[in-house]
Structure 1
Amino acid sequence: MNNVSFAELVFGPAGSVFMYSMLIVIIAMTMLVSLRLLMNRRKIGYFSMMVAFIILLVQYGQLIRLAINASETDASAYTALLLKVLAFVLFNIGIYQLYNVTRMRDFVVFGFFIAVSVLVSLTFWYIPDWLQGSEQQTTLLRPLFTELYLFLLLFLSFLLVNPRVGQNGKYQIMLTVYFTSHTLHMANVYLFGGRQPFLMLLEELIPFIFHIVLFLFIFERVIEVMQAIYHSSITDGLTKLFNRKYFYNRTSQFVANRVPVSVIFSDIDNFKKLNDTKGHHMGDQVLKQVAQIVKEETEDTGICGRYGGEEMVVLVTDRTVDAAELAERIRTRVEQESIVTVSMGYSHWKKGLSADELIKQADEAMYQAKTTGKNKVIGF
C-alpha cells in the first residue's frame, strides 16, 4: 500500500471504486425519497423514477466490478451502454409524469422511445462491412451510434420535456451537466483513445453534480407536494377562499391575543332560487365571482373564507380599516359586477368576547340585514 502513489490512488481503480460507491450512496438516498413519494402519492412518475434508479444502481455496480477486475467483455460493454440509455429515457419520462397527467397517447410515445432506444443499442452488435477495420477500430465503433443517439435524446429533452415540467432551472442544469459529461466521454474515447486520466476523472466527478441536482429536484418536489396538501387542507376547493376550520382557528388566535379585530359575515341573496332556476353550474360561477370580489377587497386588510354554502366571512385584522366601509365596498361591487346581491353584517371584538361570540354577532347582524330588505350592511 505504501508503494501506491497519489496519482494511482486518484486516477487508478481505487479512485474509480470510491467515486462510483459515493454515487451509489447519493442515488440510494434519492431513491428512498422517491419511494416515499411513490407510497404516499401513488403517482406513476415516481415508479418510472424508481425503475431508473434501479437501473443506475446496477450500472454503477457493474462499473465497480469492471474497475476491480480491469477486464471488459463485449457483453458487459453492451449491457452498460443499454442501461445508460434506458436510465436516461426513464428519468425524463418520470420527470415529465411528475408534472403532467399521463394519457394513453403518452404511454405510446414513451413505449416508442424505449423501443427505439433498445433497437439503436443493438447496433452495437452490427458493424457494416464498409466500416470494418482492426479489432481496436471495431471496439470503438460498436457503441458509436448509441452514443450519438444520446445526444439526440438530450436535444429532444430540452425541446419536448423542459417546457412541460416545473423546476425548469434545475432540469436544465441536469441536462447541461449530462451533456457535458457525455461530451467529455466522447472526446476521451474517440479523440484520445480513452487514455486521458484527467478526462476520465472528470467523467467520474461530473455525474456527482447531476445526481446532487437530481436529489434537490426530488426533494423540492417533496416540498411542493407538502405545500399542496397543506393548501388543500385549509382552502375551499370551489372558491379558493380559506375554509371554515382555518378561518375559525385564525379568528381564535387573534381573539386569544386580544387583537381588536372585526368580522364581516355575508350571505348571497336568493341563492337557492338562482340554483333552482339557472342551475348549479351558474350558482358555482356566482360563488366564484363573489369570492373573487371579496378576496380582492380584503387582500391587504384581512383573511377571507367560505363559511358554508353561500356564506362568506372576512376577518379584518388591519386596525386602520373600517369594517362598515369595507363591507359596503364589497356589497356595492357585488351588486354592480354580478347578477346577485349580498346581505352583510359585521361586529367588533370587545374585551371578554370569544371567537364564537364574535362570529355569531356578525352572523346575527347579517340575518337582520337579510330580513329587513336584503342587499344592505348592518352592524351588530
Structure 2
Amino acid sequence: MKAIDLLFGDLASILSNTVILVILALMFVVSVRLFLDRRKKGYLSMTISIIIIGIQYMLQLYLKLHAIDTSHTAYMLLMLKIISFVLVNMGIYQLYNRTKRKQYVFFYGLIIMGFIVSILHFFIPELYNGTPGQVRLLQDIGLELYVFVLIFLCFYMIPPSIGQQIKYQLALTVFFFMQTAHLINAYMYGNAQPWFSLAGNALPIVYYFLLFMLLFERVVELMQAIYNSSITDGLTRLYNRKFFYNRVTQYVQRHLPISILFSDIDNFKKLNDTKGHQMGDDVLKQVAQILKDEAEECGIAGRYGGEEMVVMVTDPSIKMDEFAERVRKRIETETIVTASIGYSKYKSGLSAEELIKQADEAMYKAKTTGKNKVVKFA
C-alpha cells in the first residue's frame, strides 16, 4: 500500500467512510443522551437522522468492499442521502425552536418531493435508448439536482431561526461543494478525476465534523444556560441571593476590602397596586439594569429579595458615597421611582451576613428618614 492510496482510489473512499462512521457514532451518543435527559423533539430528529446517515454510509462501505454498483443501490443511497439531509436540518432547527405544524409540513414535504422526483429514476430506461452508462447517469440526475434545491432552501430558511448561524452556513457550503465535486466527477469525468475524487472523500468528513461541533456547542450552550439560571434571578437577570451571599463570603474570608450597597425601591407596593404588576416588573428590570451597569467594572449586582437589590463593590479605589449617590440619582432620573440606599464597608472581624446586615440597616435608616437618599452605616 502506498501513501497515495490513502488519498485517491477505493482505499481512500473506504477510509473516508470509516472516519465518517466514527464521527456519526460520537454524534449518536451525544444526541441520544440529550434526548434521554431532555425529551426534546430536536434530539429525537437528530438521533433518527444520524441513524439513517449511518445506514447510508455502512451500506456505502459494504457496497464498496464487495464491488457492488447497480442502479438500484445508487437509488437507495441517493434517497438515504436526501432523507437524512432533511431530517438532520429539521433536527438543527428544532434544537432552537418549537416545531409547529407548518414546519413539519415543510420538512416532510421536502422528503415527499424527493420521492416524487425519484419517479424519474424508474421511467428513464423506458424513455431513453442510450448506453447503460448514459441511462444510469440520467436516472440519477433528477435526485442529484434536487439535493441542490434542498441545500439552497435550508441555507435560506433555517439560519435566521437558530444560533451558530455561521457554523451552520459553513457546513451547508461544504455540503454544496461536496455535491458539486461529486456531480462534476460523475458526469464530466466518469468518476476518474483523482482530485474530484479526493474532494468527494475529504469534504464529507469536514461536513460531518462541523455538524458534530454544532451539536457539541449546543450542549455547551445548554449547560451554560442551566448554570446561569441557577445563579441569576429570572426577572432582572441579576445574580440571585444565594450566589451573591456566597461571593460576599468568599471575599470576606480572604479579608478583602469590599463594600456592600443595599437599595430598596420606594413605595413599590403602591406602584404595584395603582399601575399593575407589569409596570412593577418593568421598573424592577430598569433599576436592575442601572445597578448592573454601575457594577460592571467594579463588582457584582444581585437581587436580594422583592424590590431589594444589592451591589458588592470589590474595587477599593471606588468612593462609596459618590458611587451610591450616582446610583440613586440615575434611578430617580431614568425611571418613575426613587430608591433608598444604604452602604457599609468591610472591617476585620465581620462576617458576610453582618456586613450585608449593616448595609441593610443603613438602607432602612434612609427609608425611615425621608426616602430617596443615601445613608452610610455608622
SS in 2 for 1:283: helix
Residue 80 in structure 1 maps to residue 60 in structure 2: no
Measured in 2, the distance between the counterparts of 1:267 and 1:16 equals 68
Residue 204 in structure 1 maps to residue 228 in structure 2: no
Work out which of the residue numbers 173, 190, 196 in structure 2 matches 1:193: 190
Q: Residues 347-362 of structure 1 correspond to what in structure 2 (within 5 A)? A: 347-362=344-359
Give the structure 2 partner of residue 61 of structure 1. 58
Residue 289 in structure 1 maps to residue 279 in structure 2: no
Give the structure 1 partner of residue 373 of structure 2. 376
Give the structure 1 partner of residue 246 of structure 2. 249
Q: How many residues are aligned here?
A: 377
Give the structure 2 partner of residue 70 of structure 1. 67
Measured in 2, the distance between the counterparts of 1:201 and 1:374 equals 75
SS in 1 for 2:43: helix
Q: Residues 1-380 of structure 1 correspond to what in structure 2 (within 5 A)? A: 11-127=8-124, 131-380=128-377
Q: Which moved more, 1:29-38 or 1:125-134?
A: 125-134
| TM-score, normalization by structure 2 | 0.94
Equivalent residues of 2:6, 2:15 under 8 A apart: no
Measured in 1, the distance between the counterparts of 2:26 and 2:331 equals 53
Deviation at 1:34, TM superposition (A): 1.8
Measured in 2, the distance between the counterparts of 1:283 and 1:225 equals 30
Per-residue CA deviations over 1:271-295 (Å, capped at 9, x if unaligned) read 1121122211111111111111212
SS in 1 for 2:238: coil
Equivalent residues of 2:342, 2:376 under 8 A apart: yes
Deviation at 1:17, TM superposition (A): 2.6
Q: Which amino acid aligns with 2:65?
A: I
Measured in 2, the distance between the counterparts of 1:46 and 1:324 equals 53
Per-residue CA deviations over 1:235-293 (Å, capped at 9, x if unaligned) read 11101111111111111111111111000111111111211222111111111111112
Percentage of identical aligned residues:
53
SS in 2 for 1:143: helix
Change (3 A) 1:269 1:126: same
Measured in 1, the distance between the counterparts of 2:110 and 2:7 equals 38
Change (3 A) 1:365 1:119: same
Deviation at 1:150, TM superposition (A): 0.8
Q: Which amino acid aligns with 2:121?
A: F
Per-residue CA deviations over 1:174-217 (Å, capped at 9, x if unaligned) read 11211111111111111112233443343122211111222222
What's the Cα RMSD here? Answer: 1.9
Equivalent residues of 1:81, 1:121 under 8 A apart: no
Equivalent residues of 2:175, 2:207 under 8 A apart: yes
Measured in 2, the distance between the counterparts of 1:268 and 1:186 equals 68
Per-residue CA deviations over 1:284-334 (Å, capped at 9, x if unaligned) read 111111111212222212111000011000101111112222111111121
Q: Which moved more, 1:158-167 or 1:136-145?
A: 158-167
Per-residue CA deviations over 1:61-80 (Å, capped at 9, x if unaligned) read 11111112212333322111
SS in 1 for 2:124: coil
SS in 1 for 2:192: coil
Deviation at 1:18, TM superposition (A): 2.9
Equivalent residues of 1:369, 1:375 under 8 A apart: yes
Measured in 1, the distance between the counterparts of 2:199 and 2:337 equals 68
Measured in 2, the distance between the counterparts of 1:132 and 1:357 equals 93
Equivalent residues of 1:293, 1:334 under 8 A apart: yes
Equivalent residues of 2:12, 2:201 under 8 A apart: no
Q: Which amino acid aligns with 2:86?
A: V
SS in 2 for 1:369: helix
Q: Which amino acid aligns with 2:315?
A: D
Equivalent residues of 1:266, 1:344 under 8 A apart: yes
Q: Which amino acid aligns with 1:145?
A: G
Deviation at 1:128, TM superposition (A): 8.0
Instruction: Give unmatched runs, 5+ long, in structure 2.
Output: none
Measured in 2, the distance between the counterparts of 1:223 and 1:101 equals 20
Deviation at 1:12, TM superposition (A): 4.7
Measured in 2, the distance between the counterparts of 1:327 and 1:9 equals 69
Q: Which amino acid aligns with 2:73?
A: S
Measured in 2, the distance between the counterparts of 1:196 and 1:227 equals 47
SS in 2 for 1:127: helix
Deviation at 1:97, TM superposition (A): 1.7
